[in-house]
A and B are shown apart, each in its own frame.
Chain A
Amino acid sequence: AQSVTQLDSQVPVFEEAPVELRCNYSSSVSVYLFWYVQYPNQGLQLLLKYLSGSTLVKGINGFEAEFNKSQTSFHLRKPSVHISDTAEYFCAVKDTGFQKLVFGTGTRLLVSP
């Protein structure tokens, strides 16, 4: 079964600074990878996904992620964060042979003025 590891439980950053949220996945076999955002008291919203093709994936709200097969990583980046980006971010992988998602434990992004 696939798994993902989010290396940071919390990332504090100042507004307008760049940020990287780290995610590593378990297998180098063909994978589908995702980043979701969860605002307080809300469900999950898809930020971006990697299914195939270009390893640099651009998503909503200025986020992007790079698929790195050799390092089995899919780190999320944003060049300049806003206060409104404060939320919980989840990395997920589609499980092998079945269309369920396996989520990491989440990274809380805290953006301060």
Chain B
Amino acid sequence: ETGVTQSPTHLIKTRGQQVTLRCSSQSGHNTVSWYQQALGQGPQFIFQYYREEENGRGNFPPRFSGLQFPNYSSELNVNALELDDSALYLCASKAAGGTYNEQFFGPGTRLTVL
């Protein structure tokens, strides 16, 4: 069984640019969440996708957007990058339904904004 994978591993961008991060869900998982983890902080929830639609969002501005594809893989897009966007971005997938289903995290993409 393949776990959650993310690409790229590392990325360097300059302020004002746009970036796309990618996530492949674990087999059988149809729900994907994205988290931002700034240095020295815990992960912060960005948004969640289920059946290709956003069904929950944290306290992040609209320049953070996402997509989920029919194969349940997902993208996180960030426009107009700011220095404070430098962080580890984590993707997590899980199966839908039930009282609670465990989220499985990928290794993350480390974004540096200069």
Contact = CB atoms under 8 A, between A and B. Distances in A.
Interface string A25-49: 0000000100010000111111001
Contacts of A41: 107
Band of interface residues on A: 20 to 34
B66 interface: no
Interface of B: 4, 31, 33, 35, 40-45, 48, 56, 58, 90, 92, 94, 99-103, 105-108
A100 B48 contact: yes
Q: Rank and list the top 7 A-B pairs by shortest CB-CB distance, nearest first.
A: A103-B42, A43-B105, A44-B105, A100-B45, A43-B107, A103-B43, A105-B42
Given A43-B90, A43-B105, A43-B107, A99 B100 contact: yes
B107 A42 contact: yes
Contacts of A95: 45
A51 interface: yes
B107 A102 contact: no
Contact of B102 (A42, A43, A46, A104): A46
A74 interface: no
A1 to B, nearest CB: 10
Contact of A43 (B33, B99, B101, B106): B106
B102 A106 contact: no
Given A44-B92, A99-B48, A105-B41, 10 more contacts: A41-B107, A43-B108, A44-B105, A90-B43, A92-B42, A99-B94, A102-B45, A103-B42, A104-B42, A106-B40
Given A45-B105, A90-B43, A99-B48, A51 B100 contact: yes
A51 B107 CA distance: 25
